[in-house]
């Protein structure tokens, strides 16, 4: 792998501690970092290199998935780490940063390949990109890459503006927009797994009745009121992660593609997604906000009683949507998506329901997290289920990457210059275009806000959305306690002989 300098804006922040350092450490342990690698951490607070390294070590102890036992390994890893004080608005700090980077590159005798990772608030993205450009940090004789965290804009107009600004400093080919759902092992392997699980002929002849994509969370707003109360479920999860899941799923059936075609096919999906009109939004979208309730046996407050949230906040913490992809294969298959906070269980899951004449339904279930796997199940319609054995068709090894954190994969991909699992601007723009009428309808209060109790599966209007079409959400354990909800999860016939 080519040598590289990892320039981390926001090195003292939460994401760096919880995700970036543990991911880099795991890559180091797995020998997947460049042999000449240097990391310069940036932030406003004054820290010595030593204190910075010891903070990073602490974050490994707390968050790393590899046991941090071997002190020598950690020491070797931390040798690459330096800290530099930088305020994103102070141009002179970038000039000093350039000096620091050049000295390190010279010391290590490495090509000036520089990866700028923006783990800071989105309000800084434009300024940082412009300052990188103006200071000459981005004009060395090696590659440069910009890794950018979400959120990418607040709506269609702001996303376009941000992109335009970034393009003054970086080409599209140099911009890596992180969507951590694209780094999840099951999402990356989805096409391959479905390919192994079913032949195209099967898919066509068995006919898919509907698709459900759920990303249910038990967590509430936590300490992120300032961000979340302006984002809501629609910007925090739906516009990015949920639509990316939809794209990743539908490009593979039946048009399985070579990796380089992924972006092209994803754009095609977004272009064939039937647009919504803001006056129509309430027929296709259910907007919810959690009230007080019970999670894992404990009482929790409602959203507007959370610290930092205004009592009159109309922000959405739940969204359910009915979508339609207008291409010949999918046009008759409704696709339902829902995501929300303070729901009964933590699960990200796709359920593909086949058409059938009797009460028994064939389902193909893709568990994305926290469990991973792909399953067949024959179930009774309604909540009762009887599992039957299904034929095994081919060998699968879908636990290969099990447990791997998305950040490990994505940081590694960025270091080797593989953009397959990053969001391309066209996809981001098309997603905002599709979502914009919903944002407008919310703003103009054209869509009611339904309060649901914490610990439920969201407002009952989300059930009605499916019932209208003769479906129901699979695996909602309405009559069991929170604690039993995950126990009640089905695990039928694993597909990996
Ligand atoms: N935390 C998470 O789980 C997730 C975060 N994200 C995104 O990642 C990004 C970072 O989030 P997170 O780590 O939680 O944020 P934090 O608030 O924890 O950290 C922000 C970082 O930015 C630095 N910073 C703030 N202001 C300045 C400034 N003027 N100049 C230089 N550095 C500054 C802070 O350092 P200092 O105070 O030393 O200046 C700190 O290191 C955001 O875009 C967020 O949306 C995305 C997904 C999940
Ligand atoms: O990006 C985000 O994702 C998490 C959920 O991620 P998961 O990997 O645990 O499913 C969500 O909690 C957070 O609000 C959002 O910003």
**CA 61 from chain center: how many Å?**
24
Q: Are residues 233 and 132 in the same domain?
A: no
| Per-residue pLDDT at 491 | 33
Residues 227 and 336 in one domain: yes
Distance CA 94, CA 85 (A): 10
pLDDT in the model for residue 487: 36
Taking CB atoms and a 6 Å cutoff, what residues make up the pocket around ligand 1? 10-16, 43-45, 86-88, 119-122, 149-150
- Domain assignment present for residue 464? The answer is yes
Q: Is residue 84 flagged as an active site residue? A: no
Q: Are 226 and 128 part of one and the same domain? A: no
Task: Average pLDDT across each block of 10 residues of the chain; the chain has 497 residues. List them in order.
Answer: 96 96 96 96 97 97 84 95 98 97 96 97 96 95 96 97 97 96 90 67 72 97 94 98 94 61 89 96 98 96 98 98 90 95 96 84 88 80 45 37 84 95 96 98 97 98 96 81 42 27
Q: Say if residue 428 is in the same domain as residue 361.
A: yes
Q: In this structure, is residue 196 part of a structural domain? A: yes
Quote the pLDDT of residue 218: 97
Q: For the chain, how big is the Rg over CA atoms in Å?
A: 23
Give me the pLDDT at residue 243, please. 98
390: which 2 tokens? 């299904």
Report d(CA 215, CA 152) in Å as an integer: 20
Check which CATH number belongs to the domain holding 347 and give it: 3.30.360.10
- Residue 447 belongs to some domain of the structure: yes
In 3-state terms, what secondary structure has residue 393? coil
| Predicted local confidence at residue 259, as pLDDT | 58
Q: If we measure between CA atoms, which residue out of 66, 102, 147 comes closest to residue 416?
A: 147
Residues 108 and 256 in one domain: no
Ligand 2 centre to CA of 229 (Å) is 15
Predicted local distance difference test score (pLDDT) of residue 484: 44
Instruction: Kindly provide the ipTM of the predicted complex, given to two decimals.
Output: 0.98
Domains contained in the chain, number: 2
Farthest CA pair distance, the chain = 72
What is the pLDDT at residue 328? 83
Ligand 1: residue of 7, 8, 13, 131 to mutate (most ligand atoms within 8 A of CB) is 13
Q: In sequence order, which residues have a C-beta less than 8 Å from that of residue 241 and are 6 or more positions away?
A: 179, 180, 181, 215, 339
User: Across the chain, how many H-helices and E-strands are there?
Assistant: 18, 16
Q: Do residues 127 and 242 share a domain?
A: no
Mutate to test the pocket of ligand 1, among 97, 119, 162, 178 (most ligand atoms within 8 A of CB): 119
Cα–Cα distance for residue pair 271/177, rounded to 1 Å: 20
CATH number of the domain within which 122 lies? 3.40.50.720
pLDDT score for 404: 84
Whether 116 and 9 map to the same domain: the answer is yes
130 and 203 share one domain: no
473 neighbors 463 (Cβ within 8 angstroms): yes
- Do 142 and 227 lie in one domain? The reply is no
The whole domain housing 349 covers 182-405+423-468
pTM above 0.90, yes or no: yes
CB 481 within 8 A of CB 346: no
């Amino acid at each position: 792998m080519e040598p590289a300098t990892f320039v981390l804006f926001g090195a003292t922040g939460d994401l760096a501690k919880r995700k970036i350092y543990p991911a880099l450490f795991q890559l180091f342990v797995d020998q997947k970092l460049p042999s000449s690698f240097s990391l310069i951490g940036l932030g406003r607070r004054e820290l010595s290199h030593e204190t910075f390294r010891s903070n990073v070590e602490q974050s490994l102890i707390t968050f790393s998935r590899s046991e941090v036992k071997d002190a020598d390994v950690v020491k070797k890893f931390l040798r690459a780490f330096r800290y530099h004080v930088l305020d994103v608005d102070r141009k002179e700090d970038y000039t000093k940063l350039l000096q620091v980077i050049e000295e390190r590159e010279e010391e290590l005798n490495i090509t000036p390949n520089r990866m700028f990772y923006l783990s800071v608030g989105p309000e800084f993205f434009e300024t940082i990109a412009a300052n990188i450009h103006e200071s000459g940090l981005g004009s060395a004789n090696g590659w440069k890459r910009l890794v950018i965290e979400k959120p990418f804009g607040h709506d269609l107009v702001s996303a376009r503006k941000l992109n335009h600004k970034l393009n003054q400093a970086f080409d599209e080919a140099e911009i890596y927009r992180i969507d951590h759902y694209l780094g999840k092992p099951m999402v990356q392997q989805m096409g391959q797994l479905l390919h192994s699980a079913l032949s195209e002929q099967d898919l066509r002849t068995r006919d898919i009745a509907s698709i459900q994509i759920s990303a249910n969370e038990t967590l509430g707003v936590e300490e992120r009121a300032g961000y979340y109360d302006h984002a809501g479920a629609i910007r925090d999860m739906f516009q990015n992660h949920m639509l990316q899941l939809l794209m990743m799923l539908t490009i593979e059936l039946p048009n399985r593609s070579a990796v380089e075609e992924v972006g092209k096919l994803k754009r095609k999906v977004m272009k064939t997604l039937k647009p919504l009109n803001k006056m129509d939004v309430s027929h296709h979208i259910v907007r919810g906000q959690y009230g007080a309730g019970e999670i894992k046996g404990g009482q929790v407050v409602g959203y507007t009683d959370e610290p930092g949230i205004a009592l009159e906040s109309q922000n959405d913490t739940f969204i359910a949507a009915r979508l339609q992809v207008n291409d010949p294969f999918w046009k008759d298959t409704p696709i339902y998506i829902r995501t929300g906070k303070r729901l009964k269980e933590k699960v990200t899951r796709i359920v593909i329901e086949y058409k059938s004449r009797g009460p028994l339904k064939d389902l193909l279930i893709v568990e994305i997290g926290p469990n991973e796997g792909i399953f067949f199940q024959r179930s009774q319609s309604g909540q009762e289920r009887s599992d039957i054995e299904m034929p095994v068709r081919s060998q699968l090894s879908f636990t290969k990457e099990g447990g791997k954190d998305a950040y490990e994969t994505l940081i590694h991909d960025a270091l080797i210059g593989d953009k397959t699992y990053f969001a391309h601007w066209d996809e981001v723009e098309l997603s905002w275009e599709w979502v914009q009428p919903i944002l407008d309808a919310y703003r103009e209060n054209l869509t009611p806000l339904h309060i649901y109790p914490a610990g439920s599966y969201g407002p009952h209007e989300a059930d009605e959305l499916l019932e209208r079409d003769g479906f129901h959400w699979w695996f909602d354990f309405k009559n069991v306690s929170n604690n039993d909800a995950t126990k009640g999860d089905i695990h039928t016939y694993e597909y990996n002989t």
